[in-house]
A and B are shown apart, each in its own frame.
Chain A
Amino acid sequence: MPNPPDTEPPPRRQGRRSRAAFEAYAMLAPSILGFAVFLIAPIVIVVVLSFYDWNLLSDPEFIGLENYRELAGDERALKSIGNTFYYVLLNIPAQTVLALLLALALNSKIKARNTFRVLYVLPWMAMPVALGVIWRWVFDPQYGALNRFLDLFGVDGAAWLTDSSWAMPVIASVNVWQYTGYTMLFFLAGLQAIPAQLYEAADVDGASPLYRFFAITLPLLRPAMLFVLITSVIGSFQVFDTIHVMTAGGPAGSTATLNYQIYLESFTQRNAGYASMLAVVLFAIIALITLAQAALFRKRTTYDFS
């Protein structure tokens, strides 16, 4: 708010400031209260619980760093961390590259642009549980559309979801299917913000399309790229619904991501303390990756939070 003119007497000025502060806190009160109870308190509690042994019912028992020590020898949990990275690596490059190519295609002069855009974004808002059910059917080795389709060409399709080497790529492909169109919208907005003169100038200089892409398009898409990568990586670490209905973490734990493992430990094994330790680990991984991404992009992208 603007400073009051200097002619105003100090007491009045003081009064206006404290009144503004009072109004601000009044407006923020519900939000801050909720923030404290449903975000700050849970974050503090999860860290504290990670030093306890607790089955959600009896009295928690303090065991210090025991949960963290146990992790080193817990093959299932370590595997779930590996699964998570595998999933992110299957998911993010495919989704980002496809979305970028799609955005470039839909940014060119083609007919029915809006129709294509709508059709590609359609999967985004679909209920992931229902999608999981549908895709599970599509990938059904006997009755599913995919293997029936492959049959037409004499190809024997795999038992996708019960084959431990196929299950994770299948889950990742469902995610790519769901979010490519959505991600494309951010690239499309980024592309449309690039001034046309830049391309005209490049044309005058006789630049090739490939050169234009790497010299103009890609650098100017940095803010969109940073946003897309940060949000989709954070999102990838949280995949739950499709795994829950398509494989429930199987076969042989091959699709149990860390996120899913935390759910199993918390609510089926009832190891709340151990699960909290895993949650702290998950958060540390996400925070590190997000900061690393932000640092990598920092050189030319400034996010204006002011």
Chain B
Amino acid sequence: MKKIPLYLVLIMGALVSVGPYLLTLNAAFKSKQEILTSEPWALPANPIFSNFGEVWSRYDFATFVVNSVIVAVAVTIGQLVFSTLAAYAFARLDFPGRDQLFWAYIATLMVPQIVTLVPTFIIVRELGLVDTHVGLIMPFVFGFLMPYGVFLVRQYFKTIPSSIEDAARIDGAGTFTILWRVMIPMAKPILGTLAIISFVNTWNNLLWPLIITHSESTRVITRGIAQMQSQFNQEYHLILAASTMALLPLVAVFLVFQRHIVRSIALSGMK
């Protein structure tokens, strides 16, 4: 019984935590007029779906979604492949300059995206990749997120006993076989973590698409929303419907995989 105050506080906190989602979902089904006149927490008098339709017809929202999916999936795959290869070399192979190079990777974890933004823009411009999907993807795979991925996977590889590998080596397995057959299957939890972090970060990122893309055909959701916001400042029925559509996929993924995702986040904080 003495826990009742604790429960009350926790429930109030949880309401604050999910309240904005519920209010937004609620508003997305209200007419332009009703959003302005009714209380935000009142349910829609006559739920309508036209706000969503208006977003899809006034904008090429389908293109935004497709672009966001292409970029986030490509970055996630790139991260998994290149980080795993590099992480294995750092964790297990012996080569000159290994520790110095690894420390250089770690040091760049402190460098914010904005610091390297202008030079990265110049480099991508020199490569002729402005306003292209490749230009959107490459700096994420190799720059903004890469050292973190290498660090995460390398630390995990370090915890796998090397006796398992030695056994495989005695059986005649080469380095790539060991990586593919022994290390990667054992490192599934951390690779899942890295996949989630890569996908979420790329999907949600606004800054890079804002700078490197300008045409409709390369526009991702974040940039689309930012643009709607500046165009239809007060047209809440449109921007809230668009925000609902932008948020729902990840919320759905989160609720389905919540156990795994919560464990993943905790795992990313280990050393």
Contact = CB atoms under 8 A, between A and B. Distances in A.
A259 B90 CA distance: 33
A276 to B, nearest CB: 6
Interface in B205-225: 206-207, 210-211, 221-222, 225
A130 B239 CA distance: 9
A28 B89 contact: yes
B269 A39 contact: no
Describe B's contact surface by its main secondary structure.
helix
Nearest to A113: B10
A133 B206 CA distance: 13
Contacts of A287: 110
A102 B13 contact: yes
A185 B40 contact: no
A45 B266 CA distance: 36
Q: Which of under 10, 10 to 19, 20 to 34, or 35 or more describes the interface residues of B?
A: 35 or more
Interface stretch (A61-69, A118-126, A209-217): A118-126
Interface in A163-189: 177, 181-182, 185-186, 188-189
Interface string A262-274: 1100110000100
A158 interface: no
Nearest to A260: B114
Contacts of A121: 254, 258, 261-262, 265
A122 B251 contact: yes
A164 B222 CA distance: 27
B254 A31 contact: no
A240 B17 CA distance: 21
B141 interface: yes
A224 B116 contact: no
Given A38-B139, A148-B39, A17 B225 contact: no
B145 to A, nearest CB: 10
B40 A305 contact: no
B262 A118 contact: yes
Interface in A21-75: 21, 23-25, 27-28, 30-35, 37-43, 45-46, 49, 56
B123 A42 contact: yes
A27 B144 CA distance: 20
Describe A's contact surface by its main secondary structure.
helix
Interface in A108-147: 108, 110, 114, 116-138, 140, 143-145
Contacts of B243: 130-131, 133-134
A145 B10 contact: no
Nearest to B103: A305
B85 A28 contact: yes
A204 interface: no
B153 to A, nearest CB: 11
Given A121-B261, A130-B243, 13 more contacts: A20-B94, A27-B86, A34-B143, A34-B146, A41-B123, A121-B265, A124-B265, A127-B225, A127-B246, A127-B247, A133-B240, A240-B206, A306-B158
Interface of B: 3, 6-7, 9-10, 13-14, 16-21, 23-24, 27, 35-36, 39-41, 82-83, 85-86, 88-90, 92-96, 98, 101-102, 104-106, 108, 110-120, 122-123, 138-139, 141-144, 146-147, 150, 158, 162, 166, 175, 200, 203-204, 206-207, 210-211, 221-222, 225-226, 229, 236, 239-240, 242-243, 246-247, 250-251, 254-255, 258-259, 261-262, 265-266, 269-271
